[in-house]
Amino acid sequence: MLRLLPIVMLLTGCSVLEGFDPAIDAVGKQIVADWKQRQDVAAAQYEYRHGLDQGNVLSVEVMLHADKITDAAVDELVEIAERDCWRAGPRCSSLGYAVHTTADPPYADKPESGKAVRTGKIDFHREQDLSELEAKYGPRPSAEATR
């Protein structure tokens, strides 16, 4: 009976790829690529989680060289992420971000390490911001145009 379980799960649509959206994954890759072109960036990565129980969640992290960190540099990094998500179309409706410094990097085996310089969420659900964003980055592509 247990041998049939994987077959039944596949036939009923239960899959680790359930909900995977290549367009959202591409946004994460684009943000990281754009960040890594900057001289002040030491490292960057993204995480895209998807599935029936969590929807589509995109988060990005960047680490700046300690001697290069300024409010203006952090603002520019957030703006790059916002721009790339906007230009991807409505399937990228929000993303979380964290900015770290090489002076206090996060370590996977030390949960209390690496306090972020700034964290936040870019969210395109607020109507008052949409006209501002359109003026800044141009019209947002439709869902059909981004497929």
- The domain spans of the chain are 19-137
Q: Give the model's pLDDT for residue 2.
A: 47
Residues 23-46: tens digit of each pLDDT: 889 999 999 999 999 999 999 999
Q: Give the model's pLDDT for residue 23.
A: 87
- Tell me which residues of the chain have a pLDDT lower than 70: 1-18, 52-55, 111, 126-128, 143-147
Q: Give the model's pLDDT for residue 4.
A: 46
The CATH fold assigned to 19-137 is Alpha-Beta Plaits (3.30.70)
For residues 2-38, one letter each, b for 16 or more C-beta atoms within 10 angstroms of the residue's C-beta and e for the rest, the string is eeeeeeeeeeeeeeeeeeeeeebeebbebbbebbeeb
- CA-to-CA distance for 136 and 87, rounded, in angstroms? 11
Phi, psi dihedrals of residue 133, rounded to the nearest 5°: -65, -40
Q: Give the model's pLDDT for residue 52.
A: 65
